[in-house]
Amino acid sequence: MILTSENYYSTDADREYLSVSQYKNFIGSLGRPGCEAYAMAKLNEEWVENMEDSDALMVGSYVDAHFEGTLDVFKAQHPCMFKKDGSLMAKYIKANEMINRCERDELFMAYMSGEKQVIMTADMFGAKWKIKIDSYIKDKCIVDLKTCQSITKTFYHADAGNMNFLHEWGYYLQGAVYQKVVEINTGKKLPFFIAAVSKEKEPDIQVIACEQSLLDEALAEVENNVPKILALKNNDIDPVRCEHCDYCKHTKILKAPIWSSDLIGEV
């Protein structure tokens, strides 16, 4: 299968290739646990997510589309964001404020100046992988644009302590996979950066270099988990339900009452 911008996100492409988003459907991140049953139901088109867009998601998608160079297409697909005169509705003006903040910073725009939406594939850990790079500066670096609630917000987990938003949402994992796929294609191991802009009242910006030790650690985790994902995709083993995601809630079948002490679960 030859991947293009038109079929990259298709179900056929997801069946043939692994991607970071599909990996996280199976395995999860600190901020969003994975669910094997949900991942397989989505892959088999047995579960279609409710794509009702929140205002925050729409703002982030608008910013992404601007830097991708696909804003005209995005506008045509989301007319609800605009007034009759073509200007953004008040609740979405934040998107333009974020874009303007990014574009008046020389360093930020230098990192976002690479080739946009570069698709690469590679065989890795026994699986075919696909990636789509936001800003690829050949022979220099890989850059991914992220919109976030706050760049400096921390997330506490009892077993891990305070984590930054890269740890929380699995962005080291993304960086590790992107870096390795690019290396397989080009022979060069390039540094991975996050170009982040926040949705705060006054948008914050930052270019964040991901430490190689953290990328190496994330890649080792990927290598360890891929065999099970492939076994699930090949229907060699049955998926495990998490019982917490929307898919599991929708398909839950009660078999017996539970004890009230079971509501909290393990602490």
pLDDT tens by residue, 208-231: 999 999 999 999 999 999 999 999
pTM across the whole model? 0.92
SS3 130: strand
Residue 1 covered by a domain: no
Residue 62 covered by a domain: yes
Task: Give the integer Cα–Cα distance in Å for 147 and 57.
Answer: 9
- 């903040």: which residue's tokens? 101
Residue 267 covered by a domain: no
Residue 103 lies in domain: 11-253
Domain count, the chain: 1
| 42-79 b/e (C-beta count within 10 Å ≥ 16 → b) | bbeeebeeeeeeeeeebbbbbbbbbbbeeeeebeeeee
SS3 169: coil
CATH number of the domain bearing residue 51: 3.90.320.10
pLDDT tens by residue, 150-170: 999 999 998 889 999 999 999
Question: Tokens in use for 21?
Answer: 């988003």
SS3 54: coil
Task: Give the integer Cα–Cα distance in Å for 184 and 181.
Answer: 5
Per the DSSP assignment, residues forming a β-bridge with 120 are: 131
Residue 3 covered by a domain: no
Q: Tally the residues of the chain.
A: 267
Residue 259 covered by a domain: no
Residue 260 covered by a domain: no
pLDDT tens by residue, 117-137: 999 999 999 999 999 999 999
Task: Give the integer Cα–Cα distance in Å for 32 and 27.
Answer: 9
Residue 191 covered by a domain: yes
Residue 263 covered by a domain: no
